Chains A and B, each alone.
Chain A
Amino acid sequence: MTTQLASGAVGRGFGDRLILAATIALAIVMVIPMLWAVGLSLKTNQELLVDTQSVLKAPWTLINYYDILIGSGVFRWLLNSIIVSTGMSLGVLVLSSLAGYGFARLEFPGRNVIFVLVLFGLAIPEQAVILVRHQLFSDLDLHNTYAGLMLPGMSAPFGVFLMTQYFKAIPTEIDEAAMLDNASRFKIFWRVLLPMTLPAQATLGIFTFLHAWNDYWWPMVSGTNQQMYTLTVGIASTQQNFAESAGLGYLMAQAVFASLPVLIVYMFFQKYIVRAVSGAAT
Chain B
Amino acid sequence: MPGIELKNVTKTFGAATVIDNVSLSIRPHEFMVFLGPSGCGKSTLLRMIAGLESVDAGEIWIGDRRVDQLAPGERRVAMVFQHYALYPHMTVRENMSFGLRNVRLPDAEIDKRVEAAAKMLEIAHLLDRKPGQISGGQRQRVAIGRAIVKEPHLFLFDEPLSNLDAALRVRTRLEIAQLHQRVDAAMIFVTHDQIEAMTLAHRIVVMNNRKIEQIGTPMEIYSRPATTFVASFVGTPAMNFSPVELSDGPNGFVSARLPDGAIVATRIDKASLPISKSFKLGIRAESLEICPVGQGETAGVAQFVERLGDRTLVYVKLSDGLTIVAGDTGNSRVAINDQVGVKFDGSDAHLFDDQDRGHHAVLDGSAT
Direct contact of A and B (CB under 8 A): yes
B87 touches A182 (CB 8 A): no
B89 touches A180 (CB 8 A): no
A133 sits at the interface (CB 8 A): no
A176 touches B102 (CB 8 A): no
The 0/1 profile, CB within 8 Å of A marked 1, for residues 51-76 of chain B is 11000000000000000000111100
**Pick the contact of B77 from A171, A180, A191, A198 — CB < 8 Å?**
A180
CB distance from B114 to the nearest CB of A (A): 13
CB distance from B361 to the nearest CB of A (A): 44
B81 sits at the interface (CB 8 A): yes
CB nearest neighbor in B for A171: B83
A182 touches B81 (CB 8 A): no
Q: What is the size, in residues, of chain A's interface with B at 8 Å between Cβ atoms?
A: 17
B229 sits at the interface (CB 8 A): no
CB distance from A105 to the nearest CB of B (A): 13
CA of A198 to CA of B88, assembled, Å = 11
B102 touches A187 (CB 8 A): yes
The 0/1 profile, CB within 8 Å of B marked 1, for residues 176-195 of chain A is 11111111000100011001
B89 touches A195 (CB 8 A): yes
A173 touches B83 (CB 8 A): yes
A174 sits at the interface (CB 8 A): yes
B89 touches A182 (CB 8 A): no
CB-CB under 8 A from A180, the residues of chain B are: 50-52, 72-73, 77-79, 99
B52 touches A182 (CB 8 A): no
Interface residues on B, range: 20 to 34
CA of A180 to CA of B73, assembled, Å = 4
B81 touches A176 (CB 8 A): yes
A56 sits at the interface (CB 8 A): no
Count of A-B contacts with CB under 8 A? 64
CB-CB under 8 A from A130, the residues of chain B are: none
A176 touches B89 (CB 8 A): no
CA of A181 to CA of B79, assembled, Å = 9
B85 sits at the interface (CB 8 A): yes
Interface residues of B in 151-204 (CB under 8 A from A): none
The 0/1 profile, CB within 8 Å of A marked 1, for residues 103-141 of chain B is 100000000000000000000000000000000000000
The 0/1 profile, CB within 8 Å of B marked 1, for residues 119-136 of chain A is 000000000000000000
Given contacts A182-B73, A182-B74, A183-B73, contact A177 B102 (CB under 8 A): no
Interface residues of A in 192-233 (CB under 8 A from B): 192, 195-196, 198
CA of A222 to CA of B82, assembled, Å = 54
CB nearest neighbor in A for B74: A182
A183 touches B52 (CB 8 A): no
CB distance from B130 to the nearest CB of A (A): 11
Given contacts A182-B103, A183-B98, contact A196 B89 (CB under 8 A): yes
A173 touches B85 (CB 8 A): yes
Interface residues of B in 309-336 (CB under 8 A from A): none
Indicate the member of A177, A179, A183, A191 with the most B CB atoms within 10 Å: A177
**Pick the contact of B99 from A174, A181, A196, A198 — CB < 8 Å?**
A181
CB distance from B238 to the nearest CB of A (A): 32
CA of A182 to CA of B102, assembled, Å = 6
Q: List 22 A-B contacts (CB under 8 A).
A: A173-B84, A174-B85, A174-B87, A176-B50, A176-B85, A177-B81, A177-B87, A178-B87, A178-B98, A180-B72, A180-B77, A180-B78, A181-B73, A182-B71, A182-B73, A182-B99, A183-B73, A183-B98, A183-B99, A192-B87, A195-B87, A196-B89
Task: Identify the 6 closest CB pairs spanning chains A and B, nearest first.
Answer: A182-B73, A181-B99, A173-B85, A177-B85, A182-B102, A195-B89
Q: Can you add 9 more A-B contacts, CB < 8 Å, to A195-B89, A198-B89?
A: A173-B83, A173-B84, A173-B85, A176-B81, A177-B79, A180-B51, A181-B102, A183-B102, A196-B88
Interface residues, chain A, CB within 8 Å of chain B? 171, 173-174, 176-183, 187, 191-192, 195-196, 198
